[in-house]
Amino acid sequence: MQTRQVVFLTGAFSGASLWHMLTSSSSEESRTFESLNPATEQVIATVAEGNEIDVDRAVAAARRAFEGPWRTMRAAERGHVLLKWAELLRRHVDEIAELESLDAGKPIAAVLRQDIPAAIDTLTYYAGWADKISGEVVSTRDDALTYTVREPVGVVAAIVPWNFPLMIGMWKLAPALACGCTVVMKPAELTSLSALRIAELALEAGLPPGVLNIVTGPGRVVGDALVNHPDVDKVTFTGSPGVGRGIMRGAAGNFKRVSLELGGKSANVIFDDADLDAASKAAAAGIFFNAGQVCSAGSRVLVQETVYDDVVERLTTRAEALRIGDPADRATVLGPVISEKQMKSILDYVDIGQKEGALLTTGGRRVGDRGYFISPAVFANVKHEMRISQEEIFGPVVSVIKFRDEADALRIANGTAYSLAADKLAHERLVYDRNSEGILVVIFRKRPASNDRRAHGAERVWRNADQRYA
Ligand code: NAD
């Protein structure tokens, strides 16, 4: 059964005023929730609130489409449909960017520079893989032929966070669809709109009905129903570690495969031989991009004691120079954080840091009384054990921590429950280190002469979960 739910956009968005949600069914009770613009706190859309029945129907539609048109389609044709979808996204870049910026409060310049091109590139890349997925012939004995076949996993539940709704959503959709899987996607309830729009474009591109289903609604209802559904074969989740833990438990019910991409407390390490201006610039960008709401944000900056005060001063100056404001203004660098709840949580951490004895050199306050804007905060004199050094704040707050030597830097860098990414902002040696989780990698390499990101010795290493769909 294919019916549709309606999403009304009531705000100033210029692209459309009436939207349809691509799903396998409409919610029986037709409940809705509001989506706000975090920069103005105004309602920009009323979105259908899905429930367990919607999930059931969406999964059934995905199963039918998996066994029907999508899996059996020639792989090359599948690739063509995905490429056509990428082309349609390209044609609607401005509209989608505007939507993402309004819904998530992301500066439009960053969305146009990063989120949308990354989503389109991801889709184009995986579209190219559709007809190149093959097994191998394994050498065993002379009288036998042993070969492996890669088959699509089946129905995939994709659960997406709000910080990069489109880009992270596409990291899940593109490889799954290219492999011949079908998908039920649940966007974060704070940012449903870009997923709904790109799903419309997917239909227009020729994706058969049921291949991609979007069910909007709360995580504890829609997400939970997907995770526990007996006919879902895989869950791919990006979000907080607490929810990730619950997903592993739920997925155990029918031994679903699981990919988890969770939180971070990543360290940028600045040695005294780094170009301090360039290193401070990179460290500021590392934490303040997307208002610090990035899993791999450099929320800790480790600085060698001999240059500590110098770097704190540079970071403070850089934080104060950042342009905060209307995300629709292309000159804006720092938009609001996503919600009132998130804003309060970040401001609570600022209080906690001060009570723990860290020195707030700048920022950490609400800006204005409309919209969830927070001035970028720099904490100096942070001790490794403090909560602001150990817990993920997920906001524009950086903890600057002093270290003596390389061994000290590695001990501190690896000494959190989190581990996702690290930058090195120095030169000379290459060091590879793993903590007990086997994730964090810190590298120091020779400083090259040119003036690009590598020139100041910065190189990001990002370890994340494997995404396998075949
Ligand atoms: P979250 O865990 O609250 O929500 C993520 C998604 O899970 C949302 O769609 C939400 O509705 C859903 N969800 C919530 N409860 C659920 C449940 N019980 N069952 C199933 N689904 C449920 O995370 P968030 O606040 O949206 O995102 C911030 C977190 O995500 C941070 O910890 C951040 O570090 C992490 N993150 C990680 C990456 C990465 O690539 N590793 C990228 C972005 C964000």
Give the model confidence (pLDDT) of 243-291 as tens digits: 999 999 999 888 999 999 888 888 888 988 888 998 899 899 999 999 9
Look at residues 375, 379, 318 and name the one whose alpha carbon lies nearest to residue 343.
375
Write out the H or E segment, with its range, that includes residue 458.
strand 458-462
The protein residue whose alpha carbon is closest to atom 13 in ligand 1 is 219
What is the chain's percent helix, strand, coil content, to nearest 5?
40, 20, 40
Beta bridge partners of 360: 379
The protein residue whose alpha carbon is closest to atom 28 in ligand 1 is 239
Pocket of ligand 1, candidates 294, 295, 416: which has the most ligand atoms within 8 Å of its Cβ, to mutate?
295
Phi, psi of 139 (to 5 degrees): -75, 115
**Catalytic site residue from 295, 305, 313, 385:** 295
Contact 33, 47 (CB under 8 A): yes
What's residue 414's pLDDT? 82
Q: How far is the CA of 264 from the centre of ligand 1 (A)?
A: 12
Q: Which residues line ligand 1 (CB under 6 A)?
A: 159-163, 168, 186, 188-189, 219-220, 223-224, 227, 238-240, 243, 246-247, 261-264, 295, 392, 394, 464
Fold of 267-462: Aldehyde Dehydrogenase; Chain A, domain 2 (3.40.309)
What does the pLDDT look like over 419-460, one tens digit per residue? 666 665 554 443 444 433 333 344 433 343 333 344 333 444
Q: Please, is 14 exposed, middle or buried when counting C-beta atoms within 10 Å of its C-beta (0-12, 13-18, 19+)?
A: exposed
Whether the full predicted model's pTM is greater than 0.95, yes or no, is no
Amino acid type, 138: V
- Whether 179 is catalytic is no
Q: How far is the CA of 189 from the centre of ligand 1 (A)?
A: 10
- Index of the ligand 1 atom closest to the CA of residue 244: 2
The protein residue whose alpha carbon is closest to atom 38 in ligand 1 is 295
Pocket of ligand 1, candidates 238, 287, 372, 394: which has the most ligand atoms within 8 Å of its Cβ, to mutate?
238
**Catalytic site residue from 200, 261, 392, 406:** 261
Distances (CA, A) of 413 to 137, 297, 445: 44, 14, 17
Look at residues 254, 253, 222, 223 and name the one whose alpha carbon lies nearest to residue 238.
223
Q: How far is the CA of 292 from the centre of ligand 1 (A)?
A: 15
- Index of the ligand 1 atom closest to the CA of residue 187: 9
Strands (E), 323-434: 359-362, 366-367, 373-374, 377-382, 397-403, 421-425
What's residue 421's pLDDT? 65
Task: Give the up-direction half-sphere exposure of residue 356: CA atoms within 13 A in the CB hemisphere.
Answer: 21
Q: How far is the CA of 296 from the centre of ligand 1 (A)?
A: 14
Q: Please, is 383 exposed, middle or buried when counting C-beta atoms within 10 Å of its C-beta (0-12, 13-18, 19+)?
A: middle
The protein residue whose alpha carbon is closest to atom 6 in ligand 1 is 161
- Cα 430 versus chain centre, distance: 29
CB atoms within 10 A of CB 184: 31
The tens place of each residue's pLDDT in the chain, 470 residues long, gives 233 343 433 333 333 323 334 443 444 557 899 999 999 999 999 999 999 999 999 999 999 999 999 999 999 999 999 999 999 999 999 999 999 999 999 999 999 999 999 999 999 999 999 999 988 888 888 888 888 889 999 999 999 999 999 999 999 999 999 999 999 999 999 999 999 999 999 999 999 999 999 999 999 999 999 999 999 999 999 999 899 999 999 998 889 999 998 888 888 889 888 889 988 998 999 999 999 999 889 999 999 999 999 999 999 999 999 999 999 999 999 999 999 999 999 999 999 999 999 999 999 999 999 999 999 999 999 999 999 999 999 999 999 999 999 889 888 988 888 766 666 555 444 344 443 333 334 443 334 333 334 433 344 444 444 456 66
Backbone region of residue 105 per phi and psi (left: phi > 0; alpha: psi in -120 to 50; beta: other values) = left
Q: How far is the CA of 257 from the centre of ligand 1 (A)?
A: 18
What's residue 28's pLDDT? 54
What's residue 15's pLDDT? 32
What's residue 433's pLDDT? 44
Please determine, looking at this structure, whether the domain spanning 7-133+150-261 carries the CATH number 3.40.50.2300.
no
What's residue 410's pLDDT? 84
Pocket of ligand 1, candidates 33, 122, 193, 240: which has the most ligand atoms within 8 Å of its Cβ, to mutate?
240
Q: How far is the CA of 163 from the centre of ligand 1 (A)?
A: 9
What's residue 406's pLDDT? 86
- Index of the ligand 1 atom closest to the CA of residue 159: 9
Token readout for 389 is 């050094």
Long-range contacts of 218-225 (CB under 8 A, 24+ apart): 218/33, 218/49, 218/189, 219/159, 219/186, 219/188, 219/189, 219/243, 221/50, 221/51, 221/52, 222/50, 222/51, 222/54, 222/55, 222/186, 223/159, 223/186, 224/250, 225/51, 225/52, 225/55, 225/56
**How far is the C-alpha of 321 from the C-alpha of 362, rounded, in Å?**
11
- Whether 261 is catalytic is yes
Domain boundaries in the chain? 7-133+150-261, 267-462
Q: How far is the CA of 240 from the centre of ligand 1 (A)?
A: 4
Contact 336, 387 (CB under 8 A): no
